Chains A and B, each alone.
Chain A
């Protein structure tokens, strides 16, 4: 195979990839560049492919609009995402440990009962879920959003953590138990340092899902006290600043940055998580 990689073939390969990469990146460029154009240039036709003037004015307008409500949306998203990640990590570490190391009769049934969530599209449960959240008096709160995300992305974490724990030899745990350690000590002191790649994958997966969610925030929030950045962006685009495309582009850029950073820094875990999330 190797001697077939001639120079001509290599050039063709790179050329194809470069053209494709430009196509894939063009929408990012276009959004970014329009967020930096002054208001008058955004709506200029024919459009300017390379901006004549660059300004951060649009970002200033974005964050000053409506008494800084966009920062409030971003803050809500951040808090909801962090809460969901923390809940999922704690719950799925405990559950994954129990499911892989503490065997007893009927444990498979529990495993199936916990993972059944993955089979059911949560969109089908929105109406009754609304009643449940409403009966707790949690409508339009950030905690409600994170409780829902925790429930529906927890199976991914449980699956991930169960597999991570299963890979660790049983003898490690037994010797620790013989020395009088409790299950919780074994879990925290001996196992967690080993299973952190699984945990990191879970963190990234849940963070991306929670940050990017739209429909849950749309239905379960009604004011800026809990509304997330996704619904907030739509609110800006369709009501407050209808057709103000500079603003919408700037909002999109702010919106995409956190997850893009996660991806760039932790690509390997990100891809692992997306694959596992898709295939399971």
Chain B
């Protein structure tokens, strides 16, 4: 008898257990089903407009792929041609030079501004908003605003510089290589300082006040405080802002299209401009694919650095 009841109990438990399991499985299934339904639109968009083009870019780069007619597998030929293509190297070089000029032009004022407005004064919000205002503009608008300022015959800048006796005759800013690079960089600095300032400011405000108070008690001077407290604590934020800014400069397109058209000659043509030229005006899709792949890896290096810093700060 005892054995029978025990068996019976066991059986009953089994039924209950399996029933629970079934409910759990059903619940899980429903869970999975709804979440997949919720995720489907995002996955569809990503697959069609991101992953397919991504795979295609790689595939194209191995083909002699014309807009019309047959495409032919040619292995690494596109990449080999690319390495021997002076226009590619020139575009890459132009982009690197531009980045080297514009980065300090953004960061030096941005650091100054971030430190300047990192305190509580009446009206600080208004100044912060004003420094941020150009960030809201498109590159096209900002470029036209400054093309007009830099205009050689009617430009206000030449006029002001002449009035101040800094120059004796108008400078054709956008018509020679180095002054064009400088002019575009100045425009970009004006347009993006506000954003860099804001990122740095967020970092500064993350430094607890108590650290500064302790330093003040120990009699640290203004420079000592910034040298030994602010600078080390700000390093990750600074690196992050720097990588973002450099990545942005590497993608430069709009500003040069509007302000210089890549000129004079090809001296301000950037990588993305060259990519657009090869893909959409020469219709050499395979070659454009090769440029794309190289460009992609270049920026992937930058964003993986960014991820590592991000993890580091957490």
User: When the two chains form their complex, are residues B42 and A158 in contact, meaning their CB atoms are under 8 A apart?
Assistant: yes
The count of chain B contact residues (Cβ–Cβ below 8 Å) is 88
Say whether A191 faces chain B, with CB atoms less than 8 Å apart: no
Task: Tell me whether B149 and A30 are in contact (CB under 8 A).
Answer: yes
CB-defined interface of B287-298 with A at 8 Å, one 1/0 digit per residue? Answer: 011001101100
In contact, A21 and B138 (Cβ under 8 angstroms): no
Residues of B within 8 A of A120 (CB): 50, 54, 296, 299-300
Give min CB distance, B192 to chain A, whole Å.
10
Across the interface, name the chain B residue whose C-beta is closest to A182.
B34
With A124-B295, A214-B254, A233-B144 given, is the CB distance from A148 to B49 under 8 Å?
A: yes
The number of chain A residues touching the other chain, given as a range, is 35 or more
* Residues of A close to B153: CB separation below 8 A: 45
Q: Are A27 and B190 in contact (CB under 8 A)?
A: yes
Instruction: For the complex, give the distance between the alpha carbons of A248 and B144 in Å.
Output: 7
Check A20 against B216 for contact (C-beta < 8 Å): no
Stretch at the interface among B2-10, B73-81, B174-182, B194-202: B194-202
User: Do B38 and A151 have beta carbons less than 8 Å apart?
Assistant: no
Interface centre among A24, A92, A130 (most CB of B within 10 A): A24
With A27-B149, A278-B199 already in contact, the answer to whether A123 and B253 are too (CB < 8 A) is yes
- Asked whether B53 lies within 8 Å of A154 as measured between CB atoms, the reply is no
Q: Is the CB of B145 within 8 A of A27?
A: yes
Please report which residues of chain B, range 147-161, place their CB below 8 angstroms from some CB of chain A when the two chains form the complex: 148-149, 151, 153-156, 159
Name the contact of B285 in the complex, choosing from A10, A127, A256 (C-beta under 8 A): A127
Q: Are B202 and A17 in contact (CB under 8 A)?
A: no
Task: Report whether B276 and A263 are in contact in the complex, using a CB–CB cutoff of 8 Å.
Answer: no
For residue A90, give the distance in angstroms from its CB to the closest CB of chain B: 7
Q: Is A215 a contact of B57 with CB atoms below 8 Å?
A: no
In Å, the complex CA distance between A279 and B310 comes to 9
Q: How far does the alpha carbon of A92 sit from the alpha carbon of B121 in the complex, in Å?
A: 39
Binds A, one of B13-21, B84-92, B98-106, B128-136: B128-136
Q: Which residue of A lies closest to B170 (CB)?
A: A45
Contacts of B241 in A (CB 8 A): 278
Complex contacts, B292 vs chain A, CB 8 Å: 124-128
CB distance from B178 to the nearest CB of A (A): 22
Tell whether, in the assembled complex, residue B34 and residue A125 are in contact, meaning their CB atoms are under 8 Å apart: no
Tell whether A30 pairs with B156 under 8 Å between CB atoms, given A91-B45, A214-B140: yes
Interface members, chain B 18-76 (any A CB < 8 Å)? 28, 31-32, 34-36, 38-39, 41-43, 45-46, 48-50, 52-54, 56-57, 60
A 126-157 contacts with B by CB, 8 A: 126-132, 147-148, 150-152, 154
Q: A90 to B38, alpha carbons, bound, how many Å?
A: 10
**A128 partner residues in chain B, CB cutoff 8 A:** 52-54, 56-57, 60, 289, 292
Shortest beta-carbon distance from A97 to chain B in Å: 6
The residues of A that contact B240 with a CB separation of less than 8 Å are 279
Residues of B within 8 Å of A147, CB to CB, are 45, 49
Q: Is A200 an interface residue (CB 8 A)?
A: no
Q: Could you tell me if A275 and B199 are in contact, using CB atoms closer than 8 angstroms?
A: yes
CB distance A17 to B133 under 8 Å?
A: no
Taking a contact as CB atoms under 8 Å apart, the answer to whether B121 and A151 are in contact is: no
Closest to B153 in A: A45
Excluding A114-B43, A121-B251, A260-B136, 4 further A-B contacts by CB distance (< 8 Å) are A20-B116, A21-B131, A42-B154, A132-B49
Offer 30 A-B interface pairs, CB within 8 angstroms, sorted by A: A1-B212, A10-B121, A17-B127, A25-B133, A42-B154, A43-B154, A44-B154, A45-B154, A47-B155, A98-B34, A102-B31, A121-B247, A125-B292, A127-B280, A128-B54, A130-B280, A147-B45, A212-B138, A212-B140, A214-B138, A219-B280, A230-B140, A245-B148, A251-B144, A252-B144, A260-B136, A263-B129, A263-B132, A278-B199, A278-B241
Q: What are the nearest 10 A-B pairs in CB distance?
A: A128-B56, A212-B138, A102-B35, A98-B38, A128-B53, A95-B42, A151-B49, A98-B35, A127-B279, A94-B38
